[in-house]
């Protein structure tokens, strides 16, 4: 099977598990999934193993593959890790970024990152992630960018939950962070980033509860497709 074929299968399954179209902790029926995707078991298994290495699905010896769980402690730990990485990232960006790179990111934020009315939660979250990845790219550290992308994938579903209630605050903080980077003020940038990302345990608990409710009541696809009406 060509590498491109495996990559396509991987992308399709990743989209399913990141958005919990396969419910948390549910065993993945390889035969049924191969039939649904119209693929054979060998490239399917290769794609599943890759997703295991990225911690997006679990493998239990003797039992099989399972969609990852939606545990509060794990989500909280990921937010803590993201906070550490992004604070370091914004400080590095203030020190390393070129004037042109900063100007381009600011222009992109103003052109694409501030208009969210009538966009879906999925689209708005993608804009949010793009802004943070853009800051990481200003550092010139490819490994840092890659790690941030990995964390984003693991917490994306919870960020969908957050997005519909925090969008006004998010946009304002993005502007503050961008202005601080443009001024090369690492302390201000790091301070706003800390407020922007940090989550208390009770906030994570509430978000996970709402996320689980969305999965089993309305469906995960409904959450991602929700329209941002007042932004």
- Dihedral angle over CA of 28, 34, 40, 42, nearest 10: -10
Beta bridge partners of 65: 59
Query: Would you say the C-alpha torsion 24, 26, 28, 32 has a positive or negative sign?
Result: negative
- What pLDDT is recorded for position 171? 87
Q: Does residue 231 surpass a pLDDT of 80?
A: no
Average pLDDT of the segment spanning 93-104? 98
Report the percentage of the chain scoring pLDDT > 90.
76
Q: What tokens does 19 get?
A: 């958005």
Q: Does residue 214 surpass a pLDDT of 60?
A: yes
Distance CA 214, CA 220 (A): 6
Phi/psi of residue 167, each to 5°? Answer: -65, -40
pLDDT tens digits, one per residue of 30-87: 999 999 999 999 999 999 999 999 999 999 999 999 999 999 999 999 999 999 999 9
- What pLDDT is recorded for position 53? 95
pTM: 0.90
Distance CA 133, CA 116 (A): 18
Q: Does residue 130 surpass a pLDDT of 90?
A: yes
Provide the CB-side half-sphere exposure for 124 (13 A, CA): 30
């Amino acid at each position: 099977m060509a590498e491109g074929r495996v990559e396509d299968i991987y992308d399709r399954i990743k989209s399913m598990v990141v958005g919990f179209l396969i419910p948390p902790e549910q065993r993945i029926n390889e035969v049924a999934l191969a039939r649904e995707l119209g693929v054979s078991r060998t490239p399917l298994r290769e794609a599943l193993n890759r997703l295991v290495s990225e911690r997006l699905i679990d493998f239990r010896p003797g039992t099989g593959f399972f969609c990852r769980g939606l545990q509060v402690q794990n989500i909280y730990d990921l937010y803590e890790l993201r906070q550490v990485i992004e604070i370091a990232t914004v400080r590095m960006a203030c020190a390393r970024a070129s004037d042109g790179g900063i100007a381009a990111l600011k222009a992109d934020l103003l052109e694409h990152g501030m208009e969210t009315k009538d966009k879906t939660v999925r689209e708005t979250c993608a804009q949010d992630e793009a802004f943070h990845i853009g800051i990481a790219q200003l550092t010139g550290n490819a490994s840092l960018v890659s790690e941030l992308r990995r964390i984003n994938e693991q917490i994306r579903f919870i960020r969908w939950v957050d997005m519909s209630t925090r969008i006004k605050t998010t946009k304002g903080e993005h502007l503050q962070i961008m202005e601080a980077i443009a001024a090369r003020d690492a302390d201000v940038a790091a301070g706003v980033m800390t407020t922007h990302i940090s989550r208390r345990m009770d906030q994570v608990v509430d978000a996970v509860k709402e996320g689980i409710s969305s999965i089993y009541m309305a469906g995960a696809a409904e959450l991602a497709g929700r329209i941002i009406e007042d932004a």
